[in-house]
Chains A and B, each alone.
Chain A
């Protein structure tokens, strides 16, 4: 996919940004009780230059939390975040500004993330001045125009004096990408950058990000709930469920041969006009509460394969037959672990035995009434 990536030999590739065993707990206050929301537990991921990593999961799975932690907008509870192999924990405002010049975020809602009382000229000019302090006058104007050209808002003259409300959703998202690029970052964290946009202009934004990856070698974390767009856009895909990463691997493998039952459910539930037969008709249940997450594997309450070990022990990462890393006891050789009926998980999720459907429905009612 990415030409940039292929020119770099594998053994000297180092991640530009990496999260190691990152955990984030948000405290919730109640009547004397001290509970926490387990928003992210033991999450590790690496971002490489010129590579897109997709983080896929349903709402509430903790994917946006990961973006906020990587951008150092929130302090992590435990674990470490490494930028260029050095551990970074941002403390002061000055330090944060330095960090932000390397790691930039693109937000979901282009209607909310741009200040409506300023023009495009001001929005971009301000970002440029913050990160390049000596930029003034004509040079600044030139940089603003260059940024607009880079995000395909051409001719730039037409857009510089516009206010955000005068732009369409796609154009606004381009402006917010340009604002992120003003810092000249090595890493872009894109938190659902296309989900608020009109269907017909979504691909335009994805293709723009793809170009930034290929031409400038920017590392991109693409957070989404849409598996199909992850397959289209990302080199590697991580699947997140209830605060944990349950599967990681090459995007094509993850979407075509899902190894974790949750990924199979996700892929099988996505509408696909070309494969109407392969739909996970047994889809039941909802994501668990993250204040009291299920013990062991968090997907076990909805999983048709679950056995006793799934409740007892958190599954480590196993390597699936297709090569992805998967946190599921199905792939363990130990005794007492659940057994797969074959390699095609989606089909097994589509037509599981009656008993398992009953079990899942039962689990679901229990869990919601908590």
Chain B
């Protein structure tokens, strides 16, 4: 998609210093540590990382859907409401939260089969959400809206009378998307919406989302481990590793000029479909145990550029400081701190691809 629409620089969702633990005691798992992230209006933000890196935890915490023993230990989540005013989602009471949900932020979950109720028709389930949030609407108007939504995602109206098991995997996922868009949210969060689908179906769903985004102008947080898909659809990508965001930048720039050794390794883990066949190595080792994180940089044990200083480095995102990178491109790596403070040149492998 060459001509991505330019997004406004106004934030739709701002996450400040969000930390999440699983468990209360000393052996709590620090699943998320001081994450900062801004989603701008109309933007598609990709969130990529391996399983267990905290990408789902991040959005569940940011929407207060985190099940126990998940515990938000610090942070704020600012959402821009309908009236343009910002409010902290984590400080809302239950009634306010209920009113906000679905209207300002909506979620499409990964397993559509598990998210739809098997004993109700999909039409009922779509209308149910509308009924709660728009109590004054007549039944006919709800029906009309449900049909409109089905049109939007390209499913015939009579499928409203189908039970989830009567629909194919791709159609179920479309119903989930239609449902999420029922109240025209400003922010749509998609948690691996296409992981369970085939590439052909994935392509259709992704195209649909992008078309709807063009038309309705909502902002998207798209979570996946498939970074090559993100490069294609996202405006910006944030890479997570072991509960932290370690790199954040424009999609194409991240692909061509990845700065963090982990990002480089992750992009190098996908064999190319075209171009020269090359020997790829993946990343040696496996992700760290979040319950027993090493001191310093969490990627240190697997990093080809690791040095003793990394063990004492407190990772935080900062601009890369390279002239060829745009201003918003940030990275959390000791090498870039040294580059800016003492002018230590980067290892050649990291300068450019």
Q: Do A and B bind each other?
A: yes
Residue of A whose beta carbon sits closest to that of B199: A269
Q: Name the distance in Å between A158's Cβ and chain B's nearest Cβ.
A: 13
Known contacts A198-B50, A199-B266, A204-B282, A266 near B200 by CB under 8 Å: yes
Known contacts A198-B286, A203-B269, A273 near B274 by CB under 8 Å: no
The answer, yes or no, to whether B271 is at the interface (CB within 8 Å) is: yes
Known contacts A256-B274, A274-B275, A201 near B200 by CB under 8 Å: no
Give the CA-CA distance A59 to B231 in the complex, in Å: 25
A200-B204 in contact (CB<8A): no
Give the CA-CA distance A94 to B273 in the complex, in Å: 44
Question: B270 — which chain A residues lie within 8 A by C-beta?
Answer: 199, 228
For chain B, which range describes its interface: under 10, 10 to 19, 20 to 34, or 35 or more residues?
35 or more
Q: Name the distance in Å between B22's Cβ and chain A's nearest Cβ.
A: 17
A-B pairs, top 4 by smallest CB distance, nearest first, are A203-B282, A232-B271, A58-B198, A200-B283
Question: A198 — which chain B residues lie within 8 A by C-beta?
Answer: 50-52, 225, 286-287
A58-B2 in contact (CB<8A): no
Question: A27 — which chain B residues lie within 8 A by C-beta?
Answer: none
The answer, yes or no, to whether A25 is at the interface (CB within 8 Å) is: no
The answer, yes or no, to whether B216 is at the interface (CB within 8 Å) is: no
Q: Chain A contact residues: over half helix, strand or loop, or mixed? A: helix
A273's partner among B50, B52, B198, B255 (CB-CB below 8 A) is B255
Question: B171 — which chain A residues lie within 8 A by C-beta?
Answer: 368
Interface residues of B (CB under 8 A from A): 1-2, 50-52, 156, 158, 167-168, 170-171, 198-204, 207, 225-229, 231-232, 252, 255, 265-266, 269-275, 277, 280-284, 286-287
A284-B204 in contact (CB<8A): yes
The answer, yes or no, to whether A275 is at the interface (CB within 8 Å) is: yes
Give the CA-CA distance A361 to B75 in the complex, in Å: 47
Question: A274 — which chain B residues lie within 8 A by C-beta?
Answer: 272, 274-275
Question: B275 — which chain A residues lie within 8 A by C-beta?
Answer: 274
Question: A300 — which chain B residues lie within 8 A by C-beta?
Answer: none
A sample of 26 cross-chain residue pairs with beta-carbon separation below 8 angstroms, ordered by A number, consists of A58-B201, A59-B198, A198-B50, A199-B225, A199-B226, A201-B282, A201-B283, A202-B282, A203-B281, A204-B284, A228-B273, A231-B271, A233-B271, A266-B199, A266-B200, A269-B199, A269-B200, A271-B228, A271-B231, A274-B272, A279-B203, A283-B204, A284-B204, A286-B168, A368-B168, A368-B171
A203-B280 in contact (CB<8A): yes
Q: Name the distance in Å between A119's Cβ and chain B's nearest Cβ.
A: 19
Question: B232 — which chain A residues lie within 8 A by C-beta?
Answer: 271-273, 276, 279
Interface mask (A230-251 → B, CB under 8 Å = 1, otherwise 0)? 0111000000000000000000
The answer, yes or no, to whether A277 is at the interface (CB within 8 Å) is: yes
A228-B202 in contact (CB<8A): no
The answer, yes or no, to whether A154 is at the interface (CB within 8 Å) is: no
A228's partner among B167, B255, B271 (CB-CB below 8 A) is B271
Interface mask (A163-176 → B, CB under 8 Å = 1, otherwise 0)? 00000111100000
19 new A-B contacts at CB < 8 Å, known A203-B281, A271-B232, A273-B252: A198-B50, A200-B265, A203-B282, A204-B284, A207-B280, A207-B282, A226-B199, A228-B271, A231-B277, A232-B277, A252-B277, A267-B273, A270-B199, A271-B199, A273-B232, A277-B2, A279-B203, A283-B204, A369-B158
The answer, yes or no, to whether A145 is at the interface (CB within 8 Å) is: no
Give the CA-CA distance A327 to B206 in the complex, in Å: 30
The answer, yes or no, to whether A281 is at the interface (CB within 8 Å) is: yes
Give the CA-CA distance A226 to B1 in the complex, in Å: 22
Question: A186 — which chain B residues lie within 8 A by C-beta?
Answer: none
A171-B156 in contact (CB<8A): no
Question: B168 — which chain A residues lie within 8 A by C-beta?
Answer: 286, 368
B199-A58 in contact (CB<8A): yes
Residue of B whose beta carbon sits closest to that of A280: B203
Give the CA-CA distance A267 to B203 in the complex, in Å: 11
B274-A275 in contact (CB<8A): yes
A286-B170 in contact (CB<8A): yes
B277-A281 in contact (CB<8A): no
Residue of A whose beta carbon sits closest to that of B267: A273
Most buried by B among A229, A269, A273, A368: A273
Q: Name the distance in Å between B244's Cβ and chain A's nearest Cβ.
A: 16
Give the CA-CA distance A283 to B50 in the complex, in Å: 28
Give the CA-CA distance A252 to B171 in the complex, in Å: 33
Question: B50 — which chain A residues lie within 8 A by C-beta?
Answer: 198-200
Query: Within A257-274, which residues are at the interface with B (CB < 8 Å)?
Result: 265-267, 269-274
Q: Name the distance in Å between B111's Cβ and chain A's nearest Cβ.
A: 14
The answer, yes or no, to whether A365 is at the interface (CB within 8 Å) is: yes
The answer, yes or no, to whether A65 is at the interface (CB within 8 Å) is: no
Residue of B whose beta carbon sits closest to that of A276: B232
B229-A271 in contact (CB<8A): yes
Residue of B whose beta carbon sits closest to that of A60: B198
Query: Within A273-310, which residues are at the interface with B (CB < 8 Å)?
Result: 273-277, 279-281, 283-284, 286
Give the CA-CA distance A226 to B270 in the complex, in Å: 10
Known contacts A168-B286, A365-B156, A272 near B203 by CB under 8 Å: no
Q: Name the distance in Å between B328's Cβ and chain A's nearest Cβ.
A: 19
Give the CA-CA distance A115 to B273 in the complex, in Å: 36
Most buried by B among A204, A207, A271, A369: A271
